[in-house]
Structures are given as structure tokens and as C-alpha cells.
Amino acid sequence: MVEVGTLIWRSHKQTIDVVVMNDVDVSTGIFQMNKFVHVWMHHDAETTRYTCDCSMYGILINVNDADEVCCHIRFLKEHVEANIHSLFNSDSDTLKTAIGVMLKRSIASIGQPVVKLDQHKLNHKFSVFSDDQIASVIVTLEKNRFVCTNGECRALKSHKRKAVSLDDSASLCQHLRTLNQNKAPWKEFVTELLEDDNTNIPVTDVPEEPLHCKIVSNDIEH
């Protein structure tokens, strides 16, 4: 996790912290470079309680003490919890270990509505804020199409759209709406994919503008 993993702090409030990190395959225990989970730390005066949206936590919460078994919560308890105070206070210079350096990097994009998580060539993953700016969900961008993985959004059928038609779409889920309002983290990947998808268009006809959306979506007028 410390050497190759992703750990990104999404929200930091007095009673809640939310971080996103790599998932681990529940059956093989293999670290997953391009799958991510959100972990919540709920603070009260005395203690911190954890919840995680990984499948391991979902399975174990009903039969066991999931706090002790979910590897994400174990990692945060063992390596992060004791450093939170230093991390968010002026003594963060004391964090000089490998974990400390990782933690300092993890808070760089705190509060940003859309954060890219993957290092994959084609299959992109973003952590996108919900409207409360505390919770985040994973949205995938693959073959020029966004899919929000949140269960409620899926149920409402507002979770799946071509990236090029976000602007024209009235019934977006809150996360796709947020993506539409924050194009900077993703627009370069859509351009790549559009060029790949339009192999029948001569290269010289492809405009240089990054979001040449209208080429594929302007047939409404005709």
C-alpha cells in the first residue's frame, strides 16, 4: 500500500474524515491497482468508528467485528489514526517516515469535487463528491462513457451517460452533474477516446479542440 498504493483524503471535518484507497480482492487477497473504496472515520469525543464500502466489510459486518477484519480499516487504525492530529496541524513536519510522506501527499487534493484515481491507459476511475461534499462515490470512464457506481443512482437510471452528452442531458445523477461542472480532471481522456472511436474519420479532419463533442452529437438539429 505504501509503495504503490493510492491513498487520497477526500473530506476532513470535525466529526468525519473520508479517504479513498485501493481495494483488495476478497477471495485471493490480491491488491487491486485499479479498484478503489471509500473509508469513513466517524469521530466523537472519545473514539473513532470506521465504515468501509468494500465487499469484505459488507460481508463481515453482519457476522463479525468488521473493524478488525476489513484490511482498509486495519491499515487506517494501525498506520494513520495516530498521525491524524499531526497531519492537520503545524507539526506535520514531524511526519518523515514513508507513511508520513504518503499521508502528507494524501491531503493535497482535499475538498476537490473530482479526483482521478487510476493510472490506467483506458479504464479511468474518479472519486466524485456527492452534493453534501462529504460523501464520494466512484465513477468510471471507459470507452467515452461515464458510469456512476452508486446504488441509488443506478436505481434511478441517471448513472450512465456518454461523456460528450453530459451538457445536453437533463436527468443526470448528482455525481455526473458534478463531473459536468468540473471537466478539467477528465476532458483530456475523452479526447483520446474519441479519436480512437472515430477511426473512420481521417486524422486531418479531427479538430484540435480537446472537446470536439459536436462531431458526434450535433445530429439533433437535422
Residue 53, classified by CB atoms within 10 Å of its CB into exposed (0-12), middle (13-18) or buried (19+), is buried
How many C-beta atoms surround the C-beta of residue 83 within 10 A? 17
Binder to Zn ion among 153, 193, 194, 213 (CB under 5 A)?
153
Distance (Å) of CA 115 to CA 8, 123, 139: 9, 15, 10
Residue with cell 476489513: 70
Part in contact with Zn ion (CB under 5 A); list of ranges 2-10, 55-63, 102-110, 214-222 = 55-63
Our finding on whether 144 is near Zn ion (CB under 5 A) is: no
Binder to Zn ion among 8, 20, 41, 52 (CB under 5 A)?
52
Binder to Zn ion among 54, 117, 138, 163 (CB under 5 A)?
54
In the complex, minimum distance from the CB of residue 69 to Zn ion, in angstroms, rounded to a whole number:
9
Our finding on whether 148 is near Zn ion (CB under 5 A) is: yes
For Zn ion, the closer CB: 150 or 191: 150
Interface characters, 174-213, with Zn ion (x: CB under 5 A): -x--------------------------------------
For Zn ion, the closer CB: 135 or 191: 135
Which amino acid, one-letter code, is at 20?
Answer: V
In the complex, minimum distance from the CB of residue 70 to Zn ion, in angstroms, rounded to a whole number:
4
110 with 10: CB under 8 angstroms?
yes
In the complex, minimum distance from the CB of residue 136 to Zn ion, in angstroms, rounded to a whole number:
10
Name the grid cell of 3: 509503495
Binder to Zn ion among 173, 190, 193, 194 (CB under 5 A)?
173
Residue 104, classified by CB atoms within 10 Å of its CB into exposed (0-12), middle (13-18) or buried (19+), is middle
Contacts (Cβ under 8 Å, ≥6 apart) of 91: none
9 with 17: CB under 8 angstroms?
yes
In the complex, minimum distance from the CB of residue 221 to Zn ion, in angstroms, rounded to a whole number:
30
Our finding on whether 20 is near Zn ion (CB under 5 A) is: no
For Zn ion, the closer CB: 42 or 214: 42
Distance (Å) of CA 97 to CA 25, 48, 89, 94, 165: 28, 23, 17, 9, 46
For Zn ion, the closer CB: 125 or 175: 175
Say how far apart CA 112 and CA 102 lie, in whole Å.
Answer: 18
In the window 62-101, what residues touch Zn ion (CB under 5 A)? 70, 72
Chain residues binding Zn ion by CB under 5 A are 52, 54, 57, 70, 72, 148, 150, 153, 173, 175
